Structure 1
Amino acid sequence: MTGYTNTGLADRALAFLQAEWQGQADAAHDLGHIARVRAMARRIAQSEGPVDAEALDLACILHDLVNLPKDAPNRAAASQLSADRAGSWLAGQGWPGARVALVTHAIAAHSFSAGIMPQTIEARILQDADRMEALGAIGLARMFAVAGALGRGLFDPADPLAKARALDDKAFALDHLETKLFRLLPLMQTATGRAIAEQRAGFLRQFRDQLLAELA
């Protein structure tokens, strides 16, 4: 794994991100999210072979540069918009085109809704690191934070597991476990990511079981 990001460049990237995010309030996409994705990416990269760690770190910092609301009609375009904006900024910092392309592809491919297959190890690691945020205790907290912000219910009290109705995570937060979060496991791109994701998914299953026990 090549060296980590030059501190000055990482700091400038964070400052650029904060300026772009000015006036936004999103509990699921804040500086804490960025810090956790950076840390998880480094953890995965240690076990996943040669990585351009500087490009990966900058991709982690800038991956949500254009942060559209979850219910925005063009939400699926957010990662490509972020990639384009990040690429322009990095070019302005004097970065060579080939390394800018590493960053922008990783950013464009990280999104679940974009449906872009990651073609590089940096892109695969960023995708896993970002998707890890949807699992475990952090994932649970973010799931309910987003549901609350969008005015969705916690769960259907009459049928929390959707045994006699269609799953609808736009109505009930708990449905999101089945409609998306548990479906992330087979999509993890690295062996390290899959192992961590399975452990975190186990916590989500335990939470669901505990909730059902309390509702019984």
Structure 2
Amino acid sequence: MNLSQAAVAFLPQEQLALSLLPHVLDDAADGSHDLSHLLRVWNNARRLQQEEGGDLRILLAAVLLHDCVRVEKDSPLRAQASTLSAQRAREILDALGWTAQDADRVAHAVQAHSYSAQITPQSLEAKIVQDADRLDAIGAIGVARCFYVAGRMGSALYEPLDPQAHGRVLEDRRFALDHFPAKLLRLQEGFQTASGAAMASARQARMRAFVEDFLGEL
């Protein structure tokens, strides 16, 4: 797929997508943060925007640039990833002639999207981007991404003697199953929009059912 073909998928902002995609598509071979992820987050954001409002131009720029600086999950810099991406987003938008005010709106949404950063989104667009990205971390796709990332990091599926961590601390960098109680099953508590919370509820139920089935098979 070339850039023009990819940009069309980001209707109705395909021209903006065409200008930003060269800055975000790389050869990192991370299937959890690739073009498919950007498309899913964009589709989530558009659905939320239809219910909540917000500026589609700001939303698409923030969606496309929210992971423009890649930091692996097991890196000590992980908590700074969204701040680094926000800084890079400002540089990219400045070079494209965006106003400082609009670039700042995008940068805030980029910085606030991250769970690790623990930054409260202040604008509607930032709330939507955070919700849209977190929706992609839960549900059936969230389960798939969790185990995909665990494989990339060399993690085990679960701790064999105490998979539910009844007598130990959770270690989600070592065991994929630990990541569900450590983070994924807690994400629903923090959704910023009513529409996002409603979508999250259904996805969270599917994810809980998976974990119960997984444990049942053990």
Q: TM-score, normalised by structure 2?
A: 0.91
Which of 192, 195, 199 pairs up with 2:198? 195
Residue 8 of structure 1 is matched in structure 2 by 15
Residue 157 of structure 2 is matched in structure 1 by 154
Structure 2 gap segments, 5+ residues each: 1-10
Residue 39 of structure 2 is matched in structure 1 by 35
Aligned partner of 1:133: which letter?
D
1:66–1:82 CA contact under 8 A, matched in 2: yes
Deviation at 1:32, TM superposition (A): 0.5
Which of 89, 93, 96 pairs up with 1:93? 96
Q: Distance in 2 between matches of 1:76 and 1:13?
A: 24
* 1:44-193 correspondence runs (5 A): 44-49=48-53, 51-193=54-196
Q: Distance in 1 between matches of 2:80 and 2:177?
A: 26
Deviations 1:50-76 (A, max 9, x none): x11111111101110001111111111
Shift of the 85–5 alpha-carbon distance from structure 1 to 2, 3 Å rule, reads farther
Deviation at 1:16, TM superposition (A): 2.0
Deviation at 1:38, TM superposition (A): 0.6
1:5–1:55 CA contact under 8 A, matched in 2: no
Q: What CA RMSD, in Å, does the superposition of the two structures yield over aligned residues?
A: 1.3
Deviation at 1:151, TM superposition (A): 1.1
Is 1:25–2:32 an aligned residue pair?
no
Q: Distance in 1 between matches of 2:95 and 2:168?
A: 52
Q: Distance in 2 between matches of 1:52 and 1:86?
A: 17
**What SS class does the counterpart of residue 76 from structure 2 fall into?**
coil
Is 1:214–2:217 an aligned residue pair?
yes
Say how many residue pairs are matched. Answer: 208
Deviation at 1:5, TM superposition (A): 5.9
**What SS class does the counterpart of residue 52 from structure 2 fall into?**
coil
Q: TM-score, normalised by structure 1?
A: 0.92
Aligned partner of 2:186: which letter?
R
Q: Distance in 2 between matches of 1:124 and 1:67?
A: 22
Aligned partner of 2:190: which letter?
L
Deviations 1:123-174 (A, max 9, x none): 0000000011110111001100111111111112222211222221122111
Displacement over 3 Å in runs of 4+: none
Q: Distance in 1 between matches of 2:92 and 2:214?
A: 46
Percentage of pairs with the same residue:
48
